Amino acid sequence: MGKRIVFENEDGSIGIIIPSPQSELTIEQVAVKDVPSGTSYHIVEEEDILSDRSFRDAWVLNSDGEIEIDLDKAKASHLDEVTRAAAARSAELSVDFGLAYIRKDEEWEKRISEQVQNILKVELDAKQAKVDEPEELKSIWIEELGANPYV
């Protein structure tokens, strides 16, 4: 396994530099060359980089240069994902409901209404999530939203 250079970007995201194996520069020289000027960085082992990228936008560096997941940022990221999926699915269901109404198909209307209620419930669950670990957020998803992005 190789070394990686990690640092915090201006926008708060985590930057990771993977030096080329063909480079004749040392890892420290690569860091000086490629890390933005004035930015502190850490040199870590490749295996120290989190392999699960589900909440990549919630990664933060601790004082030891270890990447951790900020739970509040992960919750916000998950809520954005749920809201995006819910909006898309709700728009589809709105069209279906209109068709069901025109066709006077009360059973279809009822099934659509139940799906909308489920979507609203999962959105509320995502907003009110009381979790201790980002992993727990992954289960706040329902079939009506489409494919689970965490699977």
Q: What is the 3-state secondary structure (H, E, C) of the chain?
A: CCEEEEEECCCCCEEEECCCCCCCCCHHHHHHHHCCCCCCEEEEEHHHCCCCCCCHHHEEECCCCCEEECHHHHHHHHHHHHHHHHHHHHHHHHHHHHHHHHCCCHHHHHHHHHHHHHHHHHHHHHHCCCCCCHHHHCCCCCHHHCCCCCC
Q: Choose one of 45, 69, 93: the last residue of a domain.
A: 69
Residues 86-102 have pLDDT tens digits of 999 999 999 999 999 99
For the residues 111-132, what does the mean pLDDT come to? 93
Last residue within a domain, chosen from 69, 100, 124:
69
Question: In this structure, is residue 103 part of a structural domain?
Answer: yes
User: Do 96 and 132 reside in the same domain of the chain?
Assistant: yes
Does 33 share its domain with 85?
no
Looking at the chain, the whole-number percentage of residues with pLDDT higher than 70 is 99
Does residue 123 lie within any of the structural domains?
yes
- Per residue in 30-87, pLDDT tens? 999 999 999 999 999 999 999 999 999 999 999 888 999 999 999 999 999 999 999 9
Residue 147 has pLDDT above 80, yes or no: yes
Asked whether the predicted pLDDT for residue 24 surpasses 90, the reply is yes
Q: What is the arithmetic mean of pLDDT over 135-146?
A: 93
The reply to whether 83 and 111 lie within a common domain is: yes
Look over the chain and give the mean of its residue pLDDT values, rounded to a whole number: 94
In a domain, 84, yes or no: yes
Task: Name residue 105's amino acid.
Answer: D
Q: What is the pLDDT of residue 1?
A: 62
* pLDDT for position 63: 87
Query: Could you give the CA distance from residue 72 to residue 77 in angstroms, rounded to a whole number?
Result: 9
Same domain? 88 vs 42: no
**14 and 76 co-located in one domain:** no
User: What is residue 66's predicted lDDT score, i.e. its pLDDT?
Assistant: 93
Q: How far apart are CA 126 and CA 84, in angstroms?
A: 12
Q: Verify that 52 and 13 share a domain, yes or no.
A: yes
Domains contained in the chain, number: 2
Residue that is last in its domain, among 11, 37, 69? 69
Q: Are residues 78 and 137 in the same domain?
A: yes
Question: Do the domain assignments include residue 151?
Answer: no
